Amino acid sequence: MFRYGSGGVAHWGTLCGTMVSAGAILNLASKDYGDIIHELMGWYTEYPFPSNRYDAYCKFPEQVQTVAKSPLCHASVSKWADVVGTTVSSQEKKDRCAKVTGDTAFHMIELLNQHVDGKFTAIWKPSEEFSHCTACHTGKESALNNEQGYMNCTPCHTDHTK
């Protein structure tokens, strides 16, 4: 059912497929899915993928780790392939995406367990890199309220306040 998420939805490089499936599972599991997805998504954007959790049995242990600063498959995969110096269709990349899937599923379960135990607290906040942008642009309390979403702005926009 979730295969369409592969490659950021049918290889369009949009939302990382791990978040596509994690979001659906969380929606099935809890009425508070929005809060948990918000936290998982924020975590995803700042996690140095892939972890070494699978190094004992994966094909490429000790892979280079990169922080995507984005929930987009495009940013996550292209940045990693650039830093490693490989292609986006290499075997190393496939190994990396399998680990990203495992890492995200693992954290999703951690958050869900916290929620079931009544111990879930959201800790993600926009980083200093772009928290001032959201203060002016994002949400009903902001001055302009003309931007949709919580993605880090700085990979795509230059900071016009600097």
Q: Which residues in this chain contact ligand HEC in the complex, by CB under 6 A?
A: 130, 132-138, 144, 146-147, 151, 153-157, 159-161
Tell the smallest beta-carbon distance from residue 141 to ligand HEC (Å). 13
**Which residue, 79 or 137, has its beta carbon nearer to ligand HEC?**
137
Tokens representing 68? Answer: 């995507």
**Which residue, 85 or 149, has its beta carbon nearer to ligand HEC?**
149
Contact call for residues 72 and 14 (beta carbons, < 8 A): yes
**Which residue, 27 or 154, has its beta carbon nearer to ligand HEC?**
154
Tell the smallest beta-carbon distance from residue 156 to ligand HEC (Å). 3
Tell the smallest beta-carbon distance from residue 63 to ligand HEC (Å). 25
**Which residue, 30 or 78, has its beta carbon nearer to ligand HEC?**
78
Tell the smallest beta-carbon distance from residue 134 to ligand HEC (Å). 5
Q: How many residues does the chain have?
A: 162
Contacts 24+ apart (CB under 8 A), 115-120: 115/30, 115/32, 115/36, 120/32, 120/35, 120/36, 120/39
Cα–Cα–Cα angle for 145, 146, 148, nearest 5°? 100
Residues 80 and 11: their CA atoms lie apart, in Å, by 16
